[in-house]
Amino acid sequence: MTARVALVTGGMGGIGTAICRRLASANGNAVVANCLPGYAHKDAWLEQMRAEGFDNVHAAEGDVADFESSGEMVGRIDSEIGRVDILINNAGIVRDNTLHKMSPMDWTAVINTNLNSAFNVTKHVLDSMCERGWGRIVNLSSVNGQRGQFGQTNYSAAKAGIHGFAKALAQEVVKKGVTVNSVSPGYVATDLVRSIRKDVLERIVAGIPMGRLADPAEIAGLIAYLTSEEAGYITGANIAINGGMYMS
What are the φ and ψ backbone dihedral angles of 184, each rounded to 5 degrees? -120, 90
Cβ pair 220, 15 in contact under 8 A: yes
The residue number whose beta carbon is nearest to ligand CAA equals 151
Q: Is 151 in the site for ligand CAA (CB under 6 A)?
A: yes
DSSP conformation class of 59:
E
Residue 106 touches ligand CAA, criterion: CB under 6 A: no
**Which range of residues in 20-28, 120-128, 151-159, 206-214 is near ligand CAA by CB under 6 A?**
151-159
- The answer to whether 184 touches 238, Cβ cutoff 8 Å, is yes
Q: How far is CA 91 from CA 16, 131, 132, 174, in A?
A: 8, 26, 26, 25
Q: Which residues contact 129 (CB under 8 A, 6 or more apart)?
A: 83, 84, 85, 135, 137, 173, 176, 177, 178
Report strand pairing: 178-185 vs 135-140: parallel
Nearest to 34 by CA among 105, 134, 121: 121
Q: Does 128 bind ligand CAA (CB under 6 A)?
A: no
- Closest contact distance (angstroms) between CB of 89 and ligand CAA is 14
> What's the min distance (Å) between Cβ of 137 and ligand CAA?
19
Q: Is 150 in the site for ligand CAA (CB under 6 A)?
A: yes
| Binding of ligand CAA by 241 (CB under 6 A) | no
User: Hey, which residues between 55 and 94 contact ligand CAA (CB under 6 A)?
Assistant: 94
202 part of the interface to ligand CAA, by CB under 6 A = no
Figure out which of the listed residues 196, 205, 208, 239 binds ligand CAA, where binding follows CB under 6 A: 196
**Smallest separation, CB 75 to ligand CAA (Å):** 31
Q: Which residues are within 8 A (CB) of 53 and not within 5 positions of it... i.e. 6 or more apart? A: none
165 near ligand CAA (CB under 6 A):
no
Number of neighbours of residue 44 by Cβ within 10 angstroms? 10
Binding window for ligand CAA (CB under 6 A); candidates: 2-10, 37-45, 55-63, 147-155: 147-155
Binding residues for ligand CAA, rule: CB under 6 A, are: 94, 96-98, 142-144, 149-152, 155, 186-187, 192-193, 196-197, 200, 204
